[in-house]
Amino acid sequence: MNKKWVRVCRYEELLPERPVAALIGRRQVAVVRLNDGSVRAVDNRDPFSHAQVMARGIVGNRGEVAILVSPMHKQAFDLQSGCCLDDARVQLQVHDVRVDGGCIEVAVTSDVEALPYPVSA
């Protein structure tokens, strides 16, 4: 499937370690800017509680691994792989993300209807 890049927000609008939720088509995605300046995107749906809350989670580290901790039951997820560090059978879907022209973009497959982010030139 072909990827389509969808603008979520401007890079400077996303504060380090303060996740935000973005609606991309029918999917909610939690977007996180880390202290090193890199950006990660994972599903916003907590796989344990099924609530759309991951963007309300706590960003931190477990050793060298950047993590997002669910606000519901406190499971930690690796932001690179999506794997739950507390239950290896569970993981979040990870989305490709990039910074282009000062905007954060998340990749979706071409079969997902995406809502564009309004960016003035």
Q: What distance in Å separates the CA atoms of residue 117 and residue 86, rounded to the nearest whole number?
A: 35
CB atoms within 10 A of CB 34: 14
Task: Write the pLDDT tens digit of every residue in 27-79.
Answer: 999 999 999 999 999 999 999 999 999 999 999 999 999 999 999 999 999 99
- Give the chain's mean pLDDT: 90
CB atoms within 10 A of CB 52: 16
List 61's β-bridge partners, or say none.
Answer: 66
The one-letter code for the residue type at 115 is: L
Identify the structural domains of the chain with CATH numbers, from first to last. Answer: 3-109 (2.102.10.10)
Q: Which of 106, 115, 108, 109 is nearest to 41 (CA)?
A: 106
